């Protein structure tokens, strides 16, 4: 299984926190044996990234951009 994480932030002040949370999720998934790609590039918009990755993977999940969406993640089974 491969997971692609596309972090989204609206303001520059949110960028560091969102990227930190996304990195934590990436590390937890890798520890569980899941192949993970964190697409944290600034060259494209989130919409472009979603379209790009949807063409490459069969299943996908879109998650909200807020930090609260990551706050309850403890472990993956």
- Yes or no: say if 24 and 72 are a contact pair by the CB < 8 Å rule: no
Residues 6+ apart with CB under 8 A from 66: none
Q: Mean pLDDT across the stretch 8-35?
A: 89
In-domain check, residue 33: yes
In-domain check, residue 76: no
pLDDT tens-digit readout, 29-61: 899 998 888 999 888 888 888 888 877 766 555
In-domain check, residue 75: no
pTM for this one? 0.68
How many domains does the chain divide into? 1
Query: Which of 2-11, 37-46, 65-74 bottoms out in mean pLDDT, i.e. has the lowest?
Result: 65-74
Q: What is the CATH number of the domain that holds 31?
A: 3.40.50.800
In-domain check, residue 25: yes
In-domain check, residue 40: yes
């Amino acid at each position: 299984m491969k997971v692609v994480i596309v972090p989204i932030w609206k303001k520059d002040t949110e960028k560091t926190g969102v990227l930190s949370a996304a990195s934590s999720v990436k590390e937890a998934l890798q520890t569980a044996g899941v192949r993970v790609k964190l697409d944290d590039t600034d060259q494209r918009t989130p919409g472009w990234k979603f379209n790009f990755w949807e063409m490459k993977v069969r299943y996908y999940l879109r998650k909200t951009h807020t930090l609260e969406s990551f706050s309850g993640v403890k472990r993956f089974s």
